[in-house]
Amino acid sequence: MKTNIAFLLVIALATASASASELHIGAATTSITPDKPVALDGHRGLRISKKVESPVTATALALESRDGDKVLDAAIIVSCDIVAIRSGIMEKVREKVKPRLPGFDLANIFLSATHTHNAPVTLEGRYTLPESGVMKPAEYAEFMATRVADAIVESWQKRKIGKVSWAQSQAVVAQNRRATYADGTAKMYGATNTASFRGIEGYEDHNLDVLFFWDQQDRLIATAINVPCPSQEAEGGLLLHADFWHPVRQMLRERHGKDLCVLGWAGAGGDQTSRLMYGKAADERMRKLRGLTRLEEVARRIVNGWEDAYECARKDIRSDAVLRHCVKEIELPHRKVTEAEVAEARKEAAKFAKDPAQRWNYRWHMGVVERYEAQKAGAEQPYKMELHVLRLGDVAIAINEFELFTDYGVQMKARSPAVQTFVIQLATNSGGYLPTERAVRGGGYSAVIQSSRVGPEGGQVLVDCTVDMIKAMWPKTK
């Protein structure tokens, strides 16, 4: 792990303003689709997969900046079709990579999740699983970590001098899923066709930030697409599914080469999905006229946005873009559990305690009780998070572990000195929802204490730390 952050930031600043570095780029995609039925992650109830609707994959992007033979910095970024990077997965992957890439600073690797709700469970104990016929979470985690490590190694070994460009366009994909009502309450996926409906709680970020990676002959080899929305369109059911990223990848590969590596990055979208809160009839009719499913329509919008960005990106391909990568462990204050919240959680947990089918619900409430007890005993440690911030040319990339409400992502983007700022949520670990103050006031699933270990106070610390790290990578302008 990188420890001397201050030193690195000084170096970063110096290099950022310097010129003439070479960017070496490698990319690889691997299937992380299990060949047996698995428990699907993301819902309260247990779902065992019956069929593979679309393969879940992991795509690794290796970047290395060099000045002649001197390595300036490096990063290996992996996008995974999974609900979250659960605790232990990052460590497992790094452990597997360690002997295969000797000398490589493992802190330079990070994984992020697209948040498909139709991918395997990777953590034991979340559900009560059948004894047989199902690939267990630990077994799947081992399988996935091995495949991801393979992709990381492959991408690193394939790296060659290349070029990069970046562009921004728009795609109306993210829909804020929290409806607010006359009594001040809020509800995730709440009804909007009632007289008490007052509005959608918060913002939606419809920008599509795209990175394009080219070989020396200006052939596109990889692209990273940042959509501030999790991929949950196909949510539910018993199909293993990469959600909208699958048709996005298919369409881009049809048009730009079958070997194109596509990284799907979920931006700050804890309060978003691509599912509509109103206007469903019009959308349904338009899709019918186009002959598309909603999943395909979402993919069409992303691909259209990508193509729009691509046209501009082709005009400004850079071969000397600086790469800096800083990693820092930051501490965020926990959201405090109130007496009323713990009382409610105890009551609810008791209802589910004896029913194995209610394991998820039991754990959801008991987590609050455990936090309260630690808080009361003064044993609660700050929430620790591995924060990666990268500079690539005029682009900043910042990650976080949460289902981060969009407002925080907007704050980061607005305060960033970068021309474009990519925010990747659900990376390196799984920190749960991080709601805004207005969401906490309104309540509802994604804003209640059970769903949120870090609250608005911690959210602000996260924003400030992220912005500070980004700013340190840009020379100060008068």
Partner 1 sequence: MVLALALAFSSVGASAAELWIGAATADITPDRPVPLTGNTSVRIAREIQSRLTANVLALESREGERVVDQAIMVSCDLCVIRPGIQEGFRKHLAGRLPGFDLNKLLLAATHTHAAPVILQNRYDEKDYGDAMQPKEYVPWMYQRMAEAVVKAWKSREKGAVAWGLGHAVAGHNRRVVYSDGTAKMYGAMNIPEFRGVEGYEDHGVHVLCFYDSQKRLKAAAISLATTAQAAGGNKVSADFWHDVRRLIHEQHGESVCVLGFCAPAGDQTPRAHVNKKSEERMCKLRDLTYCEEIGRRVAGAFDDVAGVIAKDIRADVSLIHRVRQVELPARVITEAEYAVAKKVCEEVDVRKKRLKTDAWTRHFYGLVVERYLAQQKGGWKTYAMEMHVLRLGDVAIATNPFELFVDYGVQIQARSPAVQTFLIQLATSGPRPAYYVPTPRAVAGGALNANPFTNYSATAAANMIGPEGAQVLVDRTAEAINGLWKPPAKQN
206 binds partner 1 (CB under 8 A): yes
475 binds partner 1 (CB under 8 A): no
415 binds partner 1 (CB under 8 A): yes
477 binds partner 1 (CB under 8 A): no
Name which of residues 347 to 406 contact partner 1 (CB under 8 A).
Answer: 394
446 binds partner 1 (CB under 8 A): no
Total binding residues toward partner 1, as defined by CB under 8 A: 51
Name which of residues 335 to 354 contact partner 1 (CB under 8 A).
Answer: none
CB 409 within 8 A of CB 421: no
167 binds partner 1 (CB under 8 A): yes
Q: Which is nearer to partner 1, 246 or 300 (CB)?
A: 300
Among 414, 476, 477, 478, binds partner 1 (CB under 8 A): 414
Q: What character string, x for contact with partner 1 (CB under 8 A) and - otherwise, covers 307-326?
A: -----x--xx----------
The total number of residues written for the chain in this structure: 478
Q: Give min distance, CB of 390 to partner 1, in A.
A: 17
Name which of residues 106 to 135 contact partner 1 (CB under 8 A).
Answer: none
283 binds partner 1 (CB under 8 A): yes
Q: Which is nearer to partner 1, 103 or 291 (CB)?
A: 291
Q: Give min distance, CB of 430 to partner 1, in A.
A: 24
Kindly give the pairing relationship between strand 57-67 and strand 403-404: unpaired
Q: Give min distance, CB of 283 to partner 1, in A.
A: 7
Q: Which is nearer to partner 1, 160 or 285 (CB)?
A: 285
Contacting residues toward partner 1, per CB under 8 A:
167-170, 172, 176, 192-195, 197-200, 202-207, 209, 277-279, 281-283, 285-286, 289-290, 301, 304, 312, 315-316, 394, 407, 410-411, 413-415, 418-420, 436-438, 464, 467
